[in-house]
Amino acid sequence: MTDNWSTLRELLLPAAMAGGRGRAVEAALRTAIRDGQLAPGLRLPSSRDLAAQLRVARGTVTAAYGQLTAEGYLTTRRGSGTSVAITLSCLATPAAPNQATRQWRYDLRPGLPALSEFPRAEWVAMTRAALAELPDEALGYPEPAGLLELRTELAAYLGRVRAVTATAEDVVITYGGAEALSMLTAVLRAQGHDSIGVEDPGHPGQLDLLREHGLRPIPVPVDCDGIVVSALPQSVRAVLVTAAHQFPLGTALHPARRHALLAWARERDGVIIEDDYDAEHRYDRPALRAMQAMDPGRVAYLGSVSKTLAPALRLGWLVLPPALRASTVSRKQFTDLGCSPLPQAAFARLLRGGGYDRHLRRTRLAYRRRRDALLAAIATHVPAWQPIGVAAGLHVVLRLPSEMDDSVVSQQLADGGIHAPALSAYTQLGTYPGLVIGYAATTPDRLRAAVREIAAIAG
């Protein structure tokens, strides 16, 4: 057994010493199993022992074990530890690792709206109207920047709801927020940027996207007032922020910090990317205007319908300062010749007729009821767990008692069929132990039932 564990250490140590340790260790372990370097049935060290051998945080190993168990590479049995799966059915149909493919009894991951609330009948009606009204030439290759009527409606909507300063010429339509950020990243790289400041904790998927497109993300700490501007390193001239509702902590960027960040951008000739991913969802505080309104020449504004309608629509947008506009439109043209005009036309009509506003009013009430049900259940069953960031958005952070290991708690819940990601999975700098709980896609009754089971497992 000792020899096997030594072999495992040799296989994983280079990954542990590389950047992005958690994902690197997970990928190296997956590759070793796929290539047959670790035999089926081999018992692995405990997460504590392996973490000590690799000199990484225990949560790194726990998260890797949990992910590979979900994918079928490993098996975990109480009292028997973790072993390489004897029957590796996961190798029959290779797929990108994604915990979302697992059938959870309670899927409380953040990021999804209530897909059952999608206004299907109204969307069908808007699509039919668009098909009837669009001229024949609109069915050819679209404008790379997007359908003019949608860009016009979006500029008006964002100006009314988010105080964004823009005309149709400033707006570029994208395939969701991911493509918007991808294009911006590539444009910044072409303009000489090699790194970008990112909030920590923050979205790990965005870090991967930034790296994939050539920018090195540098973590900057977040406190109760948002990103700590004074901690921005001298090496960066671009920063990505979630100013209206920080992900995942849920704080709003304090007005003094907003002014400080804009002053930093002017002094450094820098760029602020404002990811306004769920600003429409607010319950106990007034809406804050977008940072873009404070300096349209320094802020690139990013939004989408993924948290309001459905991610499947793949509709997003950028509102760009002049220095980035032409390069971004050119990149859009050479990347995919522009987004499909049919969903753009449908969405333009949904905006123009007030259907989007009506949908948001309905869902805001539904999400508030779900949030309140979750908070009431937490107060009843796990009163020592403190909800953070409850005034807006589609998720909360549950701050756990300091003696608890959130990665261990998350794994215990996963073993019970409850997907509740650990806050430690979202940070490189470290923070307090917590769970990141999405509530929008779960009914009040099921939220109450989930919290009862969470309390029984880990409370």
Residue-wise pLDDT for 381-403, tens only, equals: 999 999 999 999 999 999 999 99
Measure the CA–CA gap between 323 and 300, rounded to whole angstroms. Answer: 10
The values of phi and psi at residue 363, to 5°, are -70, -30
Write out the two tokens for 430. Answer: 């470290």
CATH architecture of 2-97: Orthogonal Bundle (1.10)
Is the preceding omega at residue 341 within 30 degrees of 0, hence cis?
no
pLDDT exceeds 60 at position 93 = no
Interacting residues of 423 by C-beta distance below 8 A, sequence separation 6+: 201, 248, 397, 406, 431, 432, 433, 434, 435, 436
Measure the CA–CA gap between 239 and 219, rounded to whole angstroms. Answer: 10
Write out the two tokens for 34. Answer: 């796929």
The values of phi and psi at residue 427, to 5°, are -135, 145
Q: How much is the pLDDT for 89?
A: 45
Element holding 271 (H helix, E strand) = strand 271-275
The span from the first CA to the last CA of the chain, in angstroms, equals 35
pLDDT exceeds 50 at position 206 = yes
Mean pLDDT of 264-278: 96
Q: How many CB atoms lie within 10 A of CB 102?
A: 15
Domain 122-353 grouped into CATH 3.30.360.10: no
Confidence of residue 15 (pLDDT cuts 50, 70, 90): low
Mean pLDDT of 46-52: 84
Q: How much is the pLDDT for 12?
A: 72
CATH 1.10.10.10 domain position(s) in the chain? 2-97
Q: How much is the pLDDT for 92?
A: 43
pLDDT exceeds 60 at position 21 = no
DSSP readout, 145-168? T--HHHHHHHHHHHHHHH-----G
Q: Which long-range contacts (CB under 8 A, 24 or more apart) does 191-195 make?
A: 191/327, 193/236, 193/237, 193/238, 193/271, 195/235, 195/236, 195/238
Mean pLDDT of 281-303: 91
Class of domain 358-458: alpha beta
Please list the residues that pair with 122 across neighbouring strands.
none
Q: How much is the pLDDT for 1?
A: 46
Measure the CA–CA gap between 222 and 239, rounded to whole angstroms. Answer: 13
pLDDT exceeds 50 at position 171 = yes
Higher pLDDT, 172 or 20: 172
Confidence of residue 40 (pLDDT cuts 50, 70, 90): confident
Confidence of residue 76 (pLDDT cuts 50, 70, 90): confident
**Which among 356, 359, 439, 425 has a CA at the least distance from the CA of 392?**
439
Output DSSP code: residue 247.
T
Give the lowest-confidence range in 80-84, 122-126, 411-415. Answer: 80-84
Kindly give the pairing relationship between strand 226-227 and strand 434-438.
Answer: unpaired
Mean pLDDT of 218-227: 96
Measure the CA–CA gap between 44 and 82, rounded to whole angstroms. Answer: 6
Model's pTM, two decimal places?
0.78
**Which among 457, 366, 372 has a CA at the least distance from the CA of 420?**
457
Give the lowest-confidence range in 34-38, 201-205, 433-437. Answer: 34-38
CATH 3.90.1150.10 domain position(s) in the chain? 358-458
CATH 3.40.640.10 domain position(s) in the chain? 122-353
Q: How much is the pLDDT for 439?
A: 97
Measure the CA–CA gap between 372 and 34, rounded to whole angstroms. Answer: 45
Higher pLDDT, 64 or 290: 290
Confidence of residue 87 (pLDDT cuts 50, 70, 90): low
Mean pLDDT of 277-304: 91
Write out the two tokens for 317. Answer: 């947008």
| Single-letter code of the amino acid located at 284 | D
